[in-house]
Amino acid sequence: MSRPFPYTYISCPCADTPVPDPARKRRSRESPQKPTPERNTETSEDQGETKQPNEKGQDEDEDEEQTFDPRSPRSNFSLYPPEQLLYCEDCHQIKCPRCITEEIVSWYCPNCLFETPSSMVRSDGGRCGRNCFNCPACTAPLAVSTIENVTGNSSGQGPWVLSCSYCLWTTLDIGIKFDKPTNIRSQLQKMTDSTTAPTFDARSRQGSRAFGDLKSPLSNFASIDEQSNAGERDAEQSSSKEDATPTPHLGAEARFAALKNFYRTQISETSNSPNDPLSSEFGFSSPGALNRLMSLYASSSRLSGLYGGNKKPKSKPPVMREALTASEGLRIASEDTDTALIERIPSSDCGWDGVASITQRTEQSPDVRFVDELLPLPVLLRTKRAKRCKSCKHILVKPETKPQSTRFRIRLIALSYIPLPTLRPLAQPSASSISGLGPTPDLNALSPLRPYHVLLTLKNHMFDPVRITLATPSVTPGSVATKVTVLCPQFEIGANSDVWDEALQNATAPLSDRITGMRGGEKVPEAGKVWEKGRNWTTVVLEVVPGTLPGTQAEDGRASDIDIAASLQKDEDVLEIPVFVHMEWDAEAQLEQQNVGKASKPDDLVARELAYWMVLGVGRIQASL
């Protein structure tokens, strides 16, 4: 992960929970039962304050068995920066992006920031239906500009083009101009559907219906189909612009619509029952499609003859035919297409620069081979999503619908519950014999076998004071054994108070910081003592002695970097400290959980606790001493 040192990650406990059936997790409609109820950190009310719930016991067991290894491959999936984590108030658990489900609240275009109604999203192909396009050559947004206004006399007139201000591509490169600066997508649609040659002008508006041009001589033979379906097809054509990447040659969209129509009519003609769900609007992707296939097999297989032999076998299912004519969407590749392509590629007017790159072609119709066939890409829509807890289905995040708004209706982020960890190196104390009261150490080059002091600040965002217990393996896992000592593993963090207090506190903070800064020179980290304490934060000292990298010669220190690099895994020299955080606090009991029987006293407190691993990225260990 590429965050600058020092960083902190928090491990979501979901990675440790054994999942009996991996498929179960994928199912979004999971039973609302928690996979591991023993992980629930809530102390039930019949338990006293001192009684440890199951979870604690289990974690201690785990502790004895193994500590969290930030380098294990599994950790990749559980470590998140603190701001990405959510917190479910019902499960009393940290929720990472893997333990939530998402629901789309709204679609919007990232370029014009207009919301697209969900009914329009499908018909627009999930792309912006206005004037927003990306450059097919470099993906930068395209701007609508005129080409004849340089003199300033005909401003607002004249043909319009889309131009990329990053790579200077314009639609003139593919010979497209627009009549008006609005509704470009439909203009483009008409052009690409109706024309057969790549050189066209929007002013030739005739033939906007794609099928007129699609008719080949063969289409006469299919005139019956054509007539019967023409009206439906036209409606289909105008209502759905399914695929937004047409080719200039044949009108891929029109062809797609034709094929889709063809198969729809085939299905409706060949379906057995009149109320076959396939013939309805939902068509191919509906469960009925599977039903149909299954019944096909069941009726034709011998098994049905065995088991249902006494029944009269059903009539042979009618066979669907494939598209036969161009009007049905058939396209026959001409024989010399490939040779023409091959001849064109090395020719002087094409060359390397004229061939579309793979990345360009992935966004285009499969027929596009050359840069002069690239079409502007309507901007893909983005979504605003609400997030739910996967296990209890409670909503954790719900943004406002409007694309421009950055506010949330509901936002249960982990930072409001767990203390925010920040890490900072302490300036080298003068007691250190190697350097005097030097500057803060360079975290990208920590010398091995030299003690460093790191300040870990935990800031509480809850309105209750929290008792924290930190634990860390005395030697970090991995091949580089770094000794770590938390000088004060148990401490308390004060409660957060409201915003005004904080503002006042901030006004005085520099002064107090300065005092401590002055004292910082004399201040020596002491075991069992908190380094510094504020209203809702506490700082403790970690003593870190980085281990030597394998291959480092302690005596001569002349191991070459190449040897070390070869002997090390990637980022093996990064010093990451796993820290187990256990927090306890007395929360006000929530109404829905308890006290229905009891008389609810205002000072009714429930002891809660939460435990998780976090990883402190301190720095990178130097190879030489």
Partner 1 sequence: MPPKAAKGEYIETDTGNKISRRSQIHGTQHIILGGKTVIQAEAVIRGDLYRLPSTASTDPSNPPQPSNAPSVAITVGRYSYISKSAVLRPPSRLHRGVHSFYPLKIGDHVFVGESAVIEAASLGNHVHVGAGATVGSMAIIKDFAVVLDGAVVPPGMVVPSWCVVGGRPARIVGEVGEGYGVEGAEGGMARERYRVVGRP
Pick from 9, 68, 107, 108 the residue near partner 1 by CB under 8 A.
108
The smaller minimum CB distance to partner 1, of residues 57 and 97, is found at: 97
Interface pick for partner 1 out of 58, 69, 101, 112 (rule CB under 8 A): 112
513 binds partner 1 (CB under 8 A): yes
Stretch that binds partner 1, among 105-113, 209-217, 354-362, 473-481 (CB under 8 A): 105-113
Nearer to partner 1, 139 or 567 (CB): 139
Q: CB 238 → partner 1: shortest distance, Å?
A: 30
Q: What is the largest CA-CA distance in the chain?
A: 99
Number of residues in contact with partner 1 under rule CB under 8 A = 49
The residue assigned the tokens 């609240």 is 105
Site membership for partner 1, residue 81 (CB under 8 A) = yes
The one among 397, 549, 575, 577 contacting partner 1 by CB under 8 A: 397
101 binds partner 1 (CB under 8 A): no
Q: Is 490 in the site for partner 1 (CB under 8 A)?
A: no
In the region spanning residues 439 to 458, those forming contacts with partner 1, defined by CB under 8 A, are 439-440
Cα separation, 312 vs 449, whole angstroms: 87
Measured CA to CA in angstroms, residue 432 lies from 335, 446, 480, 520, 555 at distances of 81, 15, 23, 14, 20
Taking CB under 8 A as the rule, does residue 413 contact partner 1? Answer: yes
Local structure of 518: helix, strand or coil = helix
Two structure tokens written together for 166? 């990053």
Instruction: Supply φ then ψ for residue 456, to 5 degrees.
Output: -110, 115
For 490, which DSSP code?
Answer: E
C-beta pairs of 235-242 under 8 Å, 24+ apart in sequence: 236/260, 236/261, 237/209, 237/210, 237/211, 239/123, 240/122, 240/123, 241/123, 241/124, 241/125, 241/189, 242/123, 242/125
Q: Are 214 and 253 in contact (CB under 8 A)?
A: no
Question: Could you give the 3-state DSSP secondary structure of residue 119?
Answer: helix
* Binder of partner 1 out of 113, 298, 303, 320 (CB under 8 A): 113
Minimum distance of partner 1 from residue 315's CB (angstroms): 55
User: Do the Cβ atoms of 584 and 460 come closer than 8 Å?
Assistant: no
Helical axes 184-194 vs 252-270, angle rounded to 10°: 70
Residue 495 binds partner 1, judged by CB under 8 A: no
Q: Classify burial at 601, counting beta carbons within 10 Å of its beta carbon; exposed 0-12, middle 13-18, buried 19 or more.
A: exposed
- The minimum distance between CB 227 and partner 1, in angstroms, equals 47
Half-sphere exposure of 94 (CA within 13 A, CB side): 32
For residue 227, state whether it binds partner 1 (rule: CB under 8 A).
no
Measured in whole angstroms, the distance separating CA 105 from the mean position of its chain's CA atoms is: 16
Regarding 408 and contact with partner 1 (CB under 8 A), the answer is yes
Q: Which of 420, 466, 471, 583 binds partner 1 (CB under 8 A)?
A: 420
State the Cα angle at 207 between 204 and 210, rounded to 5°: 130
Got the DSSP string for 420-489? EEEEEEPPPPTT-SSSSS-----TTSBPTT--EEEEEEEE--SSS-EEEEEE--SB-SSSS--EEEES--
Q: Can residue 183 be called a binding residue for partner 1 (CB under 8 A)? A: no
Smallest distance from the beta carbon of 141 to partner 1, in angstroms? 5
Binding segment toward partner 1, per CB under 8 A, in 61-69, 76-84, 262-270, 276-284: 76-84
Question: 86 vs 214, which CB is nearer to partner 1?
Answer: 86
CB of 107 to partner 1, least distance (A): 12
Residue (140 or 527) nearer to partner 1, CB: 140
Residue 371 sits at φ, ψ, to 5 deg, of -65, -25
Min dist CB 387 to partner 1, Å, is 8
Given 37, 110, 212, 305, the residue binding partner 1 (CB under 8 A): 110
Residue 106 structure tokens: 């709204």
Scanning 44-52, 328-336, 356-364, 404-412 for contacts with partner 1 by CB under 8 A, the matching segment is 404-412
Distance (Å, whole) CA 187 – CA 172: 15
Compute how many other C-beta atoms are within 10 angstroms of the C-beta atom of residue 126: 16
CB of 343 or CB of 513, closer to partner 1: 513
Please list every residue from 126 through 165 that binds partner 1, using CB under 8 A. 138-141, 143, 149-152, 155, 164-165
139 or 216: CB nearest partner 1: 139
Q: Could you please report the per-residue DSSP string of 344-388?
A: HTTSTTTHHHHBPPHHHHHTS-TT--BGGG--PEEPBPEEEEEEE
Does 509 interact with partner 1 (rule: CB under 8 A)?
Answer: yes
Q: Are strands 420-425 and 452-459 parallel, antiparallel or unpaired?
A: antiparallel
CB 495 within 8 A of CB 459: no
Of 459, 493, 584, 614, the residue at the interface with partner 1 (CB under 8 A) is 459
Q: To the nearest whole angstrom, how small is the minimum distance from the Cβ of residue 414 to partner 1?
A: 7
C-beta closer to partner 1: residue 275 or 406:
406
Which tokens sit at 317? 């299912």
State how far the Cα of 537 lies from the Cα of 455, in Å rounded to an integer. Answer: 12
Q: Which of 68, 80, 211, 491 binds partner 1 (CB under 8 A)?
A: 80
Hey, what amino acid is at 102?
E
Q: How far is the CB of 415 from partner 1 (least distance, A)?
A: 5
| The one among 422, 447, 485, 624 contacting partner 1 by CB under 8 A | 422
Residue 102 lies near partner 1 (rule: CB under 8 A): no
- Name the one range near partner 1 by CB under 8 A: 34-42, 338-346, 512-520, 589-597: 512-520
- Asked if residue 600 binds partner 1 (CB under 8 A), the reply is no
Q: Which of 12, 79, 86, 575 touches partner 1 by CB under 8 A? A: 86
Q: Is beta strand 605-620 parallel, antiparallel or unpaired with respect to 7-11?
A: antiparallel
Which lies closer to partner 1 via its Cβ, residue 94 or residue 484?
94
Rule CB under 8 A: say whether 85 interacts with partner 1: yes
What separation in angstroms does the CA of 407 have from each of 263, 399, 411? 46, 6, 9
- Binding partner 1 (rule: CB under 8 A), the pick from 382, 394, 450, 535 is 382
28, 47, 98, 166: residue in contact with partner 1 (rule CB under 8 A)? 166
Residue in 411, 519, 529, 598 binding partner 1, rule: CB under 8 A:
411
Binding site for partner 1 (CB under 8 A): 80-86, 108, 110-113, 138-141, 143, 149-152, 155, 164-167, 382, 387, 397, 403-404, 406, 408, 411, 413-415, 420, 422, 439-440, 459, 461, 506, 509-510, 513-514, 517
